[in-house]
Amino acid sequence: MFRFTLRVKTTDLFSSFLKTNNSSGFVRIQRAASAIRCHLPNVNVPALTVPEFIFQNFSKHPHKTALECAETGRRYTFEEVRRKSLNLNKALRQKFHLKQKDIVALVLPNIPEYAICLLGALQAGLRVTTVNPFGTADEIKSQLQDTEAKVIITTCQLGEFADTVVQRLQKQIPIVTIKTEVTNTIAPGKVNFQELIDTVCDLNDVCPSNTHDIAVIPYSSGTTGKQKGVLHSHNTLIATVVAVSCKTLYPLKDTTDNFQETTPAVLPFFHIYGLTVVLLSQLYSLVNIITISKFTPTLFLDSLLKYKPSTMCLVPPLVLFMANNESVTRAHFEFLEAIYSGAAPLGASDELKLVNRSGKDLKIYQGYGLTEAPVVTAFYQGVDIPSGSVGRAIQNTQMKIVPVDNPKADHLGANQPGELLCKGSQLMLGYYNKDKESADAFVDGWFKTGDLVYMDKANNMFVQDRLKELIKVKGYQVPPAELEELIRTYPNVLDAVVIGIPHEQYGEVPRAYLSVKADTKINLQHLDEFIASKVSKYKRIAGGFAIVDKIPKTASGKYLRKDIKLQYMQEMKQSSNL
């Protein structure tokens, strides 16, 4: 499940708009049927396919750069993206005899061609499953097997790896490879992507898909269980793009003949956050997307100096890198006005570190979403959002918080934690080939997020943690994220993750893993005393501390607590056998 958490420092850019909607100058929160709605009017979701929707703006500035590779400088204009997507649409159908609703697997890092692959396949009436190219062979095999993908598109560098995956499937799947460097060669048996996008096929267009047909099947990250394919239609994807493209949520400057925004795309496109908020939304807004295939400090920081972005989408590990790494200077923030962070909690203290490092009034924006519902809440400019909040419901969305053991209950009152349920046009259709899990995910039309949250009296939402990741200490619920944020405030701590481990007397107790700044040390006894002075007794790190070189996370920045806990249990089992 994808979690997208964000907050922002206030600005009065849209205060005049809010005042016109409420003469008192305060935002009016609408409440209906025990549900919380957005205070702004709903937005229209056009009845178009994703390619139709994205391409409709391209004719305004066809020759401006749409996508550019940070590593090689390879680039495509908006017109080239449109034309080459059309060619790929026909070539896929002609060469591989694909039919509408067949599935194409994109095993790709962030490269400019990603957009062409996605839009071309969708134009052909095909479905796309987005695959983590940095996953293991078994993980990718499982996804290809589950979706019964008919074609794989990957890079030349990943060609041999793709062969390994296909061999494990014990079935033949055509592999299309993309040259990302001039020295690349197409291996025997592979199909040259360049030929597909440069060849004009004499083939009729297919009828546009129904907007409610399945378009994309990303897989949930599986941090608390096995990955599941999440079904998104053209309509649900467009609903997300329409919402986040509103000036109240993402105030990008319009592209003109003499101006164009740029944004580094370091968030993976195979993840719903990178796919919708970065790739599709920025293409729709005619932004120049600078693709970064894999994060390295030098490449990332050089891209800030070279491309001078005013806004950027990040995840907490990247925010912490920018806040703590000594190689980050104020020059890297010179043109940055706002940073959007998502996929995992980011505390107020973490934000403050970044603002202090920037040396300016840098805006930190946050919101909340999941793979199943890409964006649910976001901060609205001109509204005073308290520190730590992930904002309020976005347009076209309803939310309610219910007791964790009674999902059919009415919305709880202010400051009462419970599970978040939501409705909206951006919600998934269900899980691929999993009817029971799909049915269990909803109750009376409400999607059960699995997140423990609460709202204050003004309906600002605060995320405490995943329900499945709460640590149960003597019957009390301890959110790991609360302790992690606190540990990160301790001097020389770079990052921290907390898990629950078994305890004979208390059931479970917290155990913390932390990484520290280079060439520094931490007195763990002093850290323990620091934590004890800040929290209730049952929240203390009674399971002990461990210093590690690196804390395992997903590509989207979520802690792999499940894997860390499994490793701990294996270590305990081994030690007991000695």
The pLDDT tens digits for 197-217 are: 999 998 988 888 899 999 999
| 118: in domain | yes
List the CATH number of the domain containing 113: 3.40.50.12780
Q: Answer yes or no: do 308 and 409 share one domain.
A: yes
Start-end of H helices in 329-424: 348-358
Write the pLDDT tens digit of every residue in 430-464.
Answer: 999 999 999 999 999 999 999 989 999 988 888 88
Q: Answer yes or no: do 154 and 77 share one domain.
A: yes
pLDDT interval class at 221 (50, 70, 90): low
CA distance 32 to 477: 30
Specify whether the backbone of 111 is left (phi greater than 0), alpha (psi in -120 to 50) or beta.
beta
- Contact by Cβ (8 Å): 472, 377: no
Q: Answer yes or no: do 534 and 401 share one domain.
A: no
Note the pLDDT of residue 26: 31
Residue with tokens 């203290």: 349
Note the pLDDT of residue 252: 85
| 35: in domain | no
| 23: in domain | no
E-strand spans in 70-182?
Answer: 75-77, 103-107, 127-131, 151-155, 175-178
| 31: in domain | no
Asked if residue 19 has pLDDT above 50, the reply is no
C-alpha distances (whole Å) from 250 to each of 6, 315, 347, 378, 536 are 13, 16, 21, 10, 39
- The share of the chain scoring above pLDDT 90, in percent, equals 65
| 320: in domain | yes
**Total domain count, the chain:** 2
Average pLDDT over residues 525-545: 93
Amino acid at 423: K
- Bridge partners of 288? 262
| 45: in domain | no
Write the pLDDT tens digit of every residue in 333-384.
Answer: 999 999 988 777 677 888 889 999 999 999 888 888 999 999 988 776 556 7
Write the pLDDT tens digit of every residue in 304-316.
Answer: 999 999 999 998 8
What's the pTM value of the predicted model, to 2 decimals? 0.84
- For the record, the structure tokens of 461 come out as 């939402």
Average pLDDT, the chain: 88
| 18: in domain | no
Q: Of the candidates 407, 428, 462, which is a domain's last residue?
A: 462
Asked if residue 41 has pLDDT above 60, the reply is yes
Supply the angle between the helices 480-488 and 348-358 in degrees, to the nearest 10: 30
Start-end of H helices in 210-296: 234-244, 272, 281-284
Q: Answer yes or no: do 458 and 554 share one domain.
A: no
Note the pLDDT of residue 382: 57
List the CATH number of the domain containing 515: 3.30.300.30
Q: Answer yes or no: do 144 and 221 share one domain.
A: yes
C-alpha distances (whole Å) from 149 to each of 101, 174, 255, 349, 438 are 10, 10, 37, 44, 21
Q: Answer yes or no: do 416 and 495 share one domain.
A: no
Average pLDDT over residues 18-29: 33
CA distance 308 to 314: 16
Q: Answer yes or no: do 55 and 137 share one domain.
A: yes
Note the pLDDT of residue 273: 93
Note the pLDDT of residue 5: 42
Residue with tokens 């997020």: 449
Query: What domain range is 198 assigned to?
Result: 50-386+396-437+447-462
Q: Answer yes or no: do 350 and 478 share one domain.
A: no
Q: Answer yes or no: do 525 and 409 share one domain.
A: no
Note the pLDDT of residue 20: 31
| 30: in domain | no
Q: Answer yes or no: do 339 and 382 share one domain.
A: yes
Q: Answer yes or no: do 185 and 233 share one domain.
A: yes
- For the record, the structure tokens of 77 come out as 């204009």
Q: Answer yes or no: do 192 and 295 share one domain.
A: yes
